[in-house]
């Protein structure tokens, strides 16, 4: 993967989908060198199958696993975190602990009465 912007690493149809995920950033200025963590998180949390597949090809299974473990699943809703638990073979016990942490429960319920 090059250190250029995200745009340089993807096909035009994927670029459009990626750009939509970063509506609050100057997409053309995003680079792997400076924004890798942000890019991985946004795509895992909000990307469709095509953008997630693109990300997988860019960084590989090991880096996806590492990102999720480092962030303890933060930023991913319960359903997506369970999906990645199965796909990446994450520890079920560890994922349960992340999901039951008090901070996550507060965040997940922020819009519920």
Is the pTM of the predicted complex or chain greater than 0.85? no
pLDDT of residue 2: 40
pLDDT of residue 13: 77
CA atoms of 59 and 75, how far apart (whole Å):
18
pLDDT of residue 106: 60
The interaxial angle of helices 78-88 and 92-100, nearest 10 deg, is 160
pLDDT of residue 1: 36
Domain map (residue ranges) of the chain? 6-108
pLDDT of residue 8: 60
Across the chain, which has 113 residues, the per-10-residue mean pLDDT values are 55 85 92 92 95 94 97 93 96 95 66 53
Q: Which of 1, 100, 106 is nearest to 55 (CA)?
A: 1
pLDDT of residue 83: 96
The owner of tokens 């009465």 is: 113
């Amino acid at each position: 993967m090059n250190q250029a912007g995200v745009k340089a690493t993807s096909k035009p149809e994927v670029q459009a989908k990626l750009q939509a995920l970063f509506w609050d950033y100057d997409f053309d200025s995003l680079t792997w060198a400076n924004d890798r963590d942000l890019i991985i998180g946004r795509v895992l949390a909000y990307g469709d199958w095509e953008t997630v597949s693109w990300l997988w090809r860019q960084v590989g299974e090991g880096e996806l696993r590492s990102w999720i473990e480092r962030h303890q699943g933060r930023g991913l809703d319960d359903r997506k975190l369970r999906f990645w638990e199965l796909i990446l073979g994450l520890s079920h016990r560890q994922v349960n602990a992340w999901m039951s942490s008090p901070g996550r429960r507060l965040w997940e319920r922020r819009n519920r009465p």
